[in-house]
Structure 1
């Protein structure tokens, strides 16, 4: 199975985890998913200063700027594997 197939499988498995991950872990999963599927941030930062969730998501994704899609996919796969254990 190639990396893209493993990534897609991990994405599917993320929806069936037995326990809900912590908010920090969810933020990491989100940022790795976005970096792995889209690459570097390609949207404007949220303009509403009180939308803390959107701001946190944007900042988490932006923090991965420069990481290759493949590296982000691999980290996502490994994190999902740990969460399933």
Structure 2
């Protein structure tokens, strides 16, 4: 299976997780997804009055510089760990 197909399947599998993986893992998934689909973060970091947006931006910024393929592979691997696959 091609990496893009694996990535698409992993994205679909996240919606069917049996249990909540926790905020840290969800932020990592978000960061890898954004890096794989949009590249490095753009725009300003949200302010203190937007803690969720700030956490998401910081997580994504932590993945900056990662190639699209590496981000997709890391996402697929993380989802496989979460689903036992």
Which bracket does the TM-score occupy, shorter chain normalised? over 0.9
| Deviation >3 Å, runs of 4+ | none
Q: Secondary structure at the match of 1:45?
A: coil
Give the number of equivalent residue pairs.
Answer: 84
CA deviation string 1:21-73 (max 9, x = no partner):
11000000000000011111123322x32211100000110111111010010
Give unpaired runs (5+ residues) of structure 2.
none
What do you get for the CA RMSD once the two structures are aligned? 0.9
TM-score with structure 1 length normalisation? Answer: 0.93
Q: Secondary structure at the match of 2:71?
A: helix
TM-score with structure 2 length normalisation? Answer: 0.93
Give unpaired runs (5+ residues) of structure 1.
none
**1:18 is matched with which residue?**
18
